[in-house]
Structures are given as structure tokens and as C-alpha cells.
Amino acid sequence: MPAEPSVRIPIPIEDVFAVLADGWLYALWVVGATHIRKVDTGWPEIGTRIHHSVGGWPLALSDTTTVRAVDPPHHLELEARLWPAGAARISLHLAALGPADTEVRMAERVCRGPARLLPGPVQDMALLPRNHESLQRLAALAVGRSPDGPG
């Protein structure tokens, strides 16, 4: 079972999910994503993709993230590819803690490529700091965009 960092965001669950549902915002909260080239029509429907770059110029790599499961506004599961390293499954679980308070938990596990051979605790050590920072960025972005967010 992967470790699941979490963040509490002081806005309604629908406002938080709206950030996840806007694929063009992906690079603003996902650590490592640097440029969005295209978002498939219908995002975040199952099978739709974000076409993104990872890393800085001139070493940026182009790849995709695909929706594997979605249950708005409670769950989004993604598969992020990074050729040639493989791919990882990312699950975002949202829970309403009240009418204007949301908890987001994030779990990630490498599912393809050489890093999938690493034991879970070793993957967690590598992924937890990045995922924690991604959740902090998601929270700041969601609060900043929310019409119900703190003034």
C-alpha cells in the first residue's frame, strides 16, 4: 500500500475537483511537469490525456498522462508516462470534511519500467516529498481560484 500524503483545503470539494478537471492547470500543481502541449477534449473522462513536457529546456521530455478512473468530485486516477523511465499510477481521493473544507490524499506507485522493481518503501521515499509539494501547490491554486476561498 503506497504512502498517502494529504492536504486540507478550506474550500468546497467541487472547487478543488474543478482544478483537477482543468487539464491546462496540470503543470501549475504537478511537480516536474513544465509545459502542457495539448489537453484531449472531454478531460477528465476515462481514456483522455494531457500531453505534457517534463524537465527544463533543452532536456525536456514529451509524454502523456491518461485518466484511468474518475468519480467526480471524489476520485481521479491517472497514469503518468515518462519515456523511457516507465509509468506511474496516481490516485487522488477527495473527501468533503464540511461544506467548505476538503481533504485530498494522493497515492503513487510506479507501474511500468525499471523503477517498478524497487520495493514500495523505497518508492515512497522518492515520491513522498514530490507528492507533498504537489498537494501544497494544488491547495494554493484551488484556494486562489475558488470563488468561495478565503479573501
Mean pLDDT calculated for residue range 1-7 = 85
In a domain, 137, yes or no: yes
| Count of C-beta atoms within a 10 Å radius of residue 45 | 10
pTM for this prediction: 0.91
Which tens digits make up the pLDDT trace of 63-72? 899 999 999 9
Do the domain assignments include residue 36? yes
pLDDT band at residue 3 under the 50/70/90 scheme: confident
% residues pLDDT > 90 (the chain) = 64
**Which residue range is the domain that position 75 belongs to?**
6-145
CATH number at residue 50: 3.30.530.20
Q: Point out which residues pair with 101 in neighbouring strands.
A: 98
Whether 132 is in a domain gets the answer yes
Q: What is the mean pLDDT of residues 125-130?
A: 86
The verdict on residue 104 lying in a domain is: yes
Quick check: is 79 in a domain? Answer: yes
Instruction: Return the pLDDT at 151.
Output: 54
**Is 80 exceeded by the pLDDT of residue 37?**
yes
Pairing of strands 61-71, 49-54: antiparallel
The pLDDT tens digits of the residues spanning 100-116 come to 999 999 999 888 887 77
Residue 95 placed within a domain: yes
Number of domains in the chain: 1
Q: What is the pLDDT of residues 39-53, one digit of tens each?
A: 999 999 999 999 998
Mean pLDDT within 22-29: 96
Does 151 map to a domain?
A: no
Top-confidence residue, 122 or 97: 97
Q: Does residue 150 belong to any structural domain of this protein? A: no
